[in-house]
Amino acid sequence: MIDFEQHPVVQQTGMMIKQMAENLMRPVSHEMDEQEHAEPAQYVTFMWEVMKSQMGSGAVTQFTGGGRKKEKDDPNAPKTPGFGNVLGAVSIEMMSWGDAGIYLTTPVAGLGGAAVSAAGTPEQKERFLKRFSEGEPKWGAMAITEPSCGSDSAAITTTAHLDGDEWVINGHKIFVTAGKRAVVDSKGFVVVWATVDKKAGRAGIKSFVVEAGTPGMTMLALEKKHGIRASDTAQLVFENCRVPRNNLLGSEEVDLNKGFKGVMATFDATRPAVAASAIGIGRAALEFIEEEFEKRGIKPRYGTSPAKLTVRERDLMEMEANLKAAWLLTLRAAWMSDNKKHNNLEASICKAKAGLAVTQITQKAVELMGPLGYSRELLLEKWMRDAKINDIFEGTQQINMLIIARRILGYTREQLK
């Protein structure tokens, strides 16, 4: 049974990250928002040292997929459940509480690392992730979306064909989070989704690791965004880009019965991470509103009949309830992953709930503060802009609701579109 009592390590880590967020993220939040794509150098330097020290704990893959290690001095000790994903959720929440855009500049393997962890072989994990404990700051990225392909990842047109011992990739990818930092600013990598057999449809989609500096991979442009402006979001072009045969994650076999479950498994880890980030933004907005209202003598009277509450009290209680529900769903999905339980449904549920809840919470927070909430004097309007992306990337609200419906009702993709 899931236990909501957090491990002492998780509690302590959350407190330390919140202190870091107060000192390194909040003070430059406005500045980084105004100077889109600028690097928060002090934060990156600090976090790179932290990430290197955490190599192997799961933090290196954007705080996902980790867990407690078996004690080296007692190889016969019984295995105990890990808490790497729960730790990751708490860490991401606190960093996003500080600033969601700056959090996305953290030098880690990121979404690309999550893909390697989910679908890669032990040799691939060692080869591609070990670099995140050495040298200068590095980033990883994942390239899925295309100009003509968004939510329906099965419609990918980027191709990869085998030529001897190399895969040749051709295509155009957009909205690649950390794309510039991964392939231009560091010796990182990007995981590219491409089809090896168009006739096979979804079953022909595979993921490939393309390392920084690989000929044929070019950054075309950086996107200008509504929110999370500190995060670089790039367009990448692949023209006869050749990668080693063993850079394909998972099996080369095109299995029509399995579809592309291997590459999609990445989302089981990354969707709870996105939900945690959303919750961090929502918590920042809610805490600010509660503090401001308390200064004015407005504090929810819990246990009072709803008919006797003011509109503001009901608004605050609803915001609190939505945030708590989203957080508990996120912890559940992370806990299941730590305990090796299939969490495809739960990952989509927490992502859908968090994206919707935090969009509503931040909009209500701006509304409750009136004109001041809409001004750039406060961070509220920024939090509202930052929140919306969590309802879009890693599967839009609509896509996740479809996944949830299919899993609960037992329908296939063809039966419920």
187 with 213: CB under 8 angstroms? yes
Tokens found for residue 159: 């191709």
From 290, 346, 394, 414, active-site residue: 394
* 394 is an active site residue: yes
Bridge partner list, 141: 190
Rounded-to-integer distance, Cα 187 and Cα 72, Å: 31
* Region label for 303, one of left (φ > 0), alpha (ψ between -120 and 50) or beta (otherwise): left
Task: List, in order, residues 6 or more apart from 253 with CB less than 8 Å away.
Answer: none
Tokens of 199: 């006739």
Is 197 within 8 Å of 157 (Cβ atoms)? no
Q: Decide if 229 contacts 74 (C-beta within 8 A).
A: no
| Active-site amino acid positions | 394
